[in-house]
């Protein structure tokens, strides 16, 4: 195959980032999507955008997200199916936070079968449970570009301001300890079964999410076939 830039190649398939809240899915998805020039589809970001705009979907999702529960499958599916059907997803895309239930995974299988010849790749971020609370309570996100920081482990150069664009750094309303506990419970009950679902099909690869963000990125790039 002739040398081509990674961005020009795209991914040629869907890549699913799977792991508990705080595992580093968003941090890695931003980086890898930029490297490959493909869309980063975060259902959490999509819902937060709807909440921010006060749409009908946002009004329904807001109280559910504030409790740390999952939004009903039918609402998630219509939103993501619409997004995946856009032409910018033709060369592949990264799914961050979707699917999260077995019915969502089954529906995604149907969508992907119509779209790609290649099976999806599922990257499973493995992180110690006791690390997740620290990561989530310390997370701050740029209001403008969505860049992700951590007040403990990855602070910005100027407190409260994004290194990239100077935007204000804010804490997500669901990053409160009591809500985080609910989100972790929802993960164990509703999302963890997807690990076996994909592993039994041979499409899931584990990545050590406890390593530094740079080392995790390197591992993911290796899985995707680029050293
Ligand atoms: P969503 O936004 O998807 O949140 P989540 O899955 O809970 O995941 P997070 O964004 O909290 O964590 P992350 O793994 O992306 O970690 P990050 O990279 O930011 O969902 C929010 C809500 O929306 C849900 O609760 C639900 O209500 C609803 N929703 C969304 N999708 C849904 C669906 N499909 N079905 C139903 N409902 C849905 O990193 C976290 C922190 O750790 C950061 O501070 C970061 O700097 C730090 N960090 C990252 N990597 C490392 C590292 N390697 N070492 C040290 N620190 C690190």
Map residue 180 onto helix, strand or coil.
helix
C-alpha of residue 65 to centroid of ligand 1, in Å: 12
The domain over range 3-38+91-127+190-225 is classified in CATH as 3.40.50.970: no
Query: What strand order describes the sheet that includes 139-142?
Result: 148-150, 139-142, 169-170
What separation, in Å, do the N-terminal and C-terminal C-alpha atoms of the chain show?
A: 16
Please answer whether residues 140 and 33 qualify as being in contact, where contact means their C-beta atoms are separated by less than 8 angstroms.
Answer: no
Helix (H) or strand (E) holding 204: strand 204-208
Give the residue numbers annotated as catalytic, written as ranges: 25, 100, 139, 172, 183
pLDDT tens for each residue of 142-183: 999 999 999 999 999 999 999 999 999 999 999 999 999 999
Q: What is the pLDDT of residue 8?
A: 46
SS3 content of the chain, % helix, strand, coil (to 5): 50, 15, 35
pLDDT band of residue 9 (cuts 50, 70, 90) is low
- Among residues 18, 21, 17, 16, which one has the least CA distance to residue 186? 21
In angstroms, what CA-CA distances link 58 with 7, 43, 63, 208?
A: 33, 12, 9, 34
In this prediction the pTM is 0.94
The percent of residues above 90 in pLDDT, for the chain, comes to 90
Q: Which residue has tokens 């990257």?
A: 123
C-alpha of residue 76 to centroid of ligand 1, in Å: 16
97 CB within 6 A, ligand 1 = yes
Please answer whether residues 61 and 71 qualify as being in contact, where contact means their C-beta atoms are separated by less than 8 angstroms.
Answer: yes
Distance of CA 174 to the CA centre of its chain: 16
DSSP conformation class of 118: S
pLDDT tens for each residue of 106-150: 999 999 998 888 899 999 999 998 899 999 999 999 999 999 999
Distance of CA 112 to the CA centre of its chain: 18
Q: What is the pLDDT of residue 226?
A: 58
Please answer whether residues 71 and 64 qualify as being in contact, where contact means their C-beta atoms are separated by less than 8 angstroms.
Answer: yes
Which residues, 6 or more positions from 51, have their beta carbon under 8 angstroms from its beta carbon?
A: 58, 59, 61, 62, 65
pLDDT of 2 higher than 60: no
pLDDT band of residue 7 (cuts 50, 70, 90) is very low
Pairing status of strand 121-126 against strand 14-18: parallel
Nearest CA to ligand 1 atom 15: 26
19, 21, 50, best to mutate for ligand 1 pocket (most atoms within 8 Å of CB)? 21
Q: Would you kindly state where each structural domain of the chain is located, as residue ranges?
A: 3-38+91-127+190-225
């Amino acid at each position: 195959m002739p040398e081509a830039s990674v961005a020009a190649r795209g991914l040629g398939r869907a890549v699913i980032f799977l792991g508990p809240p705080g595992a580093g899915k968003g941090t890695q998805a931003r980086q890898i999507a930029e490297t490959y020039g493909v869309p980063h589809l975060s259902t959490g970001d999509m819902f937060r955008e709807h909440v921010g705009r006060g749409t009908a979907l946002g009004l329904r999702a807001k109280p559910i997200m504030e409790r740390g529960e999952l939004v009903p499958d039918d609402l998630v599916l219509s939103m993501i199916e619409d997004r995946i059907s856009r032409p910018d997803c033709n060369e592949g895309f990264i799914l961050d936070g979707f699917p999260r239930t077995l019915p969502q995974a089954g529906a995604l299988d149907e969508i992907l079968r119509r779209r790609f010849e290649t099976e999806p790749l599922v990257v499973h971020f493995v992180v110690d449970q006791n690390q997740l609370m620290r990561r989530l309570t310390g997370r701050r996100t740029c209001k403008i570009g969505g860049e992700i920081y951590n007040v403990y482990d990855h602070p910005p150069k100027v407190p409260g301001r994004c290194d990239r664009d100077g935007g204000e750094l804010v804490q997500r309303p669901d990053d409160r300890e009591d809500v985080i506990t609910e989100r972790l419970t929802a993960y164990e009950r509703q999302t963890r079964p997807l690990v076996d679902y994909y592993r039994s099909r041979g499409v899931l690869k584990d990545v050590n999410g406890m390593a530094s963000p740079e080392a995790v990125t390197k591992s993911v790039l290796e899985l995707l076939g680029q050293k």
